[in-house]
Every structure is written in C-alpha cells, then in structure tokens.
Amino acid sequence: MSFYNNGIFHHSSNLLSPWPEMMTPHKTKKIGLALGSGAARGLAHIGVLKVLEEEEIGIDVIAGTSIGAFIGALYAAGVSVAQMEEVALNVDWRRLARLIDPTFPSAGLIDGKKVSLFMSELLPVRTFEELQIPLAVIATDLETGEPLIIKKGQLLKALQAAVAFPGIFPPIRFGDRFLIDGGLCNPVPADVALDLGAEVVIGVCAIPAIRKPRTEAFLPEKKNERQPKRRFLDFFNSRNVENVVKDLWRQNNHEESEVAAMKIKLKAPGIFKVCAQSIAIMENEINALRLERNHLDILIRPDLNDITLLEFHRAAEAIQAGENATRLAIDKIKALARPIESSPFYDNV
C-alpha cells in the first residue's frame, strides 16, 4: 500500500490504512432491541421485527422478557420472521390451549410440559452460545423479587423461567432458585440491552398505556319495608313530600333495574382470567415506572388495547399492530442507526 509523507511516496504491506480515521466511515452504532412482556399481545414483536428486516435495520443484541424473551430467542437463533409469522397465524391456539396439562392447583394451574415441548420444537439451538445474536433473558427470583439476567448455558430452561406467568405456570427450578416471569420486575429490559453493549436501544412495549381516572362507586341501600316511617317527613308539606317520593321512586327503580341487568349480564371471571388480569394490573404499574427510569432511544408501543393477554388466536391483529407502530417510528430509527461519523475523505470522493 502506497502513501504520501514528507514529499515521498512510501509503500508498506503491513500498514492497514494511511488514513486510519478517514478510512472507517461505515462504523454503525450498535443497535439493541428490548422486547417486553405482554403474553398474546407480545406477538406484536413479530411485526416489529418484520419491518426492521424490510428496512435492513440490523440488530446487534437482544434483551427479552416473557414472550419477548421467546421471540427474541427465535430471532437470535436464526429463525426467520416469515417462519415465526407462519407459525403464529396457522397454529390452532384454541386447540393448543385444550391440550395444555391442567394440574391440581399447588404452584400453578398448568404443568407447562406441552408448552415447553412447543418451544423446544421451534428452537433450532439448545444453548445461548449457539445463538447468532447475543441474547439476555430476564426472569424474576420468586423468593427475593430480584431480576435475574440469563445469557449463557441452557436456553430452553431460561425461556421456561422467563414465561412462567405466576399462578398459571409453576415456578421453574433454576439451580438453587425458583424463577417466574421477568415481566414482574422488568417489563421492557432496556437497561439489559445497554449492558450487552447497545449504543442505541429500541424498546418494544406490548402493555397498553392505561389512563385510569380516579372513580367512586357505591351500591344503593336495599329497601326495607319494615323500616319505620321517618318522622321528619311530617315537617314537609304535602306537595314537597309528593315530589320527594316521586324523585326517590324514579331513582330507586332506575338503580334497581341497572343492578338487575348487571346480575343477568355479569358472569364471574374464571381463575385463569383472574390470575392473568391481576398480574397485568401490577405489570402495568411497574411498566410505567420502569419506562420513566430506563434509557430508551426509541419506544415502540403498538395499539393493542382491544387484545387481551390470552387471545393468542388474534395473532394477525397483534402482528399488524407491531408493523404499524414500527413504520411510524422507522424514520427516527434510521436516523439513529446512521454511521457514528462520516469521513471528509469519503464525502469528497
């Protein structure tokens, strides 16, 4: 390689570059993806990955919680987005739910063996070391409540722990710990993506933002026909008494008809829904606090308000929501993913 120095051309076969800073303009920022929890809503992650691939946005590291850990593991293992979408759209989720092993309620309602088998059949690798993209999976220590970051060793066991939804699946024994869903402590693990070396972090939150106004409620007092007449009514004149009675009659009839209608329509939720919704309420509060604290360059939040946690059969809607939200953010993603610095040498070529 020849170069010019002090008026003399020199040649060196060992010198990598005569312009060491000017010849490396294509160094791009290391992009990390933080895929969050959300159960069925988390299928939106497939739509996010689909758009990133179409736009040729490379992912360097992935951190995942709950279903985000599973989809992140598939992608890091080399499973194509097209394959993931095909499985999500064509699996008979209702039939799969019927095949799940119910257990006597001790640590969880579902044994989870068939779910584990389902995951193992989709994963082409067995260890973190075999993955094509560095991955970290987040679980929660049941005893201490601390987050546990798993990024080496057995992949399937780590994923079982990451998706062990409390009350539904039993805790997973992991060495001398029992682990449950990582969404309880870190729903969108942006900080873990940074720890893996990411310079730009794209977070995907599949938990809808819920604006909960403070409300008051009451149940109307039941009528008691044996209750003695109130003496204070005697002090009212006949017209006022008649008006008061009419108002109370209309109000009570309206309230009683509403309560009766609610009794007919309302059905007590099943234990699956109670567990899932209870955890979802807690996760929503934790998620709001973590999103405020964690560093995120871009937050993708698909519109999933109408999809519940267990509606996996609505995969097409969730995936489309992920696509739509990512397309809205794609210009900002491209801007952040540009090379760290451009070279004046190359700019003038």
Is residue 35 within 8 Å of 68, Cβ to Cβ? yes
pLDDT of residue 95: 63
> What does the pLDDT average to over 245-266?
54
Round the CA-based radius of gyration of the chain to a whole number and report it. Answer: 29
- For all residues of the chain together, what is the average pLDDT? 76
Given 37, 60, 141, 181, the catalytic residue: 181
pLDDT of residue 106: 53
Q: Which of 66, 141, 191, 297 is catalytic?
A: 66
As a whole number, mean pLDDT of residues 49-55 equals 95
For residues 215 and 316, the model is more confident at 316
Give the mean pLDDT of 84-113: 67
Q: Which residues contact 64 (CB under 8 A, 6 or more apart)?
A: 34, 35, 70, 71, 72, 73, 135, 136, 137, 138, 162, 189
Provide the pLDDT confidence category of residue 339 given band limits of 50, 70 and 90.
Answer: low
DSSP SS3 for 34: strand
Residue 347: helix, strand or coil by DSSP?
helix
pLDDT of 64 higher than 70: yes
Output the pLDDT for position 227.
Answer: 54
Rounded to 10 degrees, the C-alpha dihedral 164/170/173/178 comes to 80
120 assigned to active site: no
Please state which of the ranges 133-137, 154-158, 167-171, 175-179 shows the lowest mean pLDDT.
167-171
pLDDT of residue 66: 92
pLDDT tens digits, residue range 289-310? 666 677 789 999 999 878 887 7
Q: How many CA atoms lie within 13 A of 62 on its CB side?
A: 28
pLDDT band at 275 (very low <50, low <70, confident <90, very high): low
Instruction: Please give the pLDDT value at position 238.
Output: 56
Min mean pLDDT across 31-45, 203-217, 304-318 is at 203-217
Whether the predicted pLDDT of 343 surpasses 60: no
Question: Catalytic residue at 297?
Answer: no
